[in-house]
Structures are given as structure tokens and as C-alpha cells.
């Protein structure tokens, strides 16, 4: 979880994810207990002078395994003019 948190923090800074970081895929939902133990967030925030910026970014775990499919369906609907 430490390496996972470190890389999530790096990516959050690279893309300036000020709206939040949403962790999805197969790893996060299957390891919720390990994510809650604090190691992930400790390493996510361990970026020196950038820590305050990361502290302002909400971090959420996506639990719905259909999220990507729902997003693709929404995109298709918008592009086709159905919404």
C-alpha cells in the first residue's frame, strides 16, 4: 500500500487533481482494510513542500465495479444526442 500511495500522490501532483483522486480498478476495492490502515495516505501525502496541496485533494475509493461502463454509456449517450 505504501508504493500504491506514493504513486497515487505522484500522479495527483502531475495532473493537479484538485477536484479529487478517485482510486478504482481491481486493487483498491479488494484491499479496503489495508487502505484504511493509514499507510496509503501517509505515503500519498509524503511529498515535502507539496503536502498541503495534497491534503486539500479528497481521496475516494470507487466501489462500483460498473463505473467505467456507466461512464462509457454516458459518453455515448451525450455524443449521440440522447441527453
2-61, pLDDT tens digit by residue? Answer: 999 999 999 999 999 999 999 988 888 899 999 999 999 999 999 999 999 999 999 999
The pTM score is 0.83
The Cα–Cα gap between 37 and 28 comes to 13
- Fold for 2-80, please state it: Hexokinase; domain 1 (3.40.367)
> CA 15 to CA 63: how far, in whole Å?
23
Q: What is the pLDDT of residues 73-82, one digit of tens each?
A: 999 999 998 8
> What's the start-to-end Cα distance of the chain, in Å?
40
Amino acid at each position: 500500500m505504501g508504493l500504491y500511495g506514493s504513486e497515487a500522490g505522484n500522479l495527483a501532483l502531475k495532473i493537479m487533481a484538485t477536484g479529487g483522486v478517485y482510486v478504482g480498478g481491481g486493487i483498491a476495492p479488494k484491499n479496503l482494510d489495508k487502505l484504511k490502515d493509514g499507510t496509503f495516505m501517509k505515503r500519498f501525502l509524503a511529498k515535502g513542500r507539496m503536502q498541503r496541496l495534497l491534503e486539500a485533494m479528497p481521496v475516494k475509493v470507487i466501489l462500483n465495479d460498473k463505473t467505467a461502463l456507466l461512464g462509457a454509456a454516458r459518453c455515448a449517450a451525450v455524443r449521440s444526442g440522447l441527453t
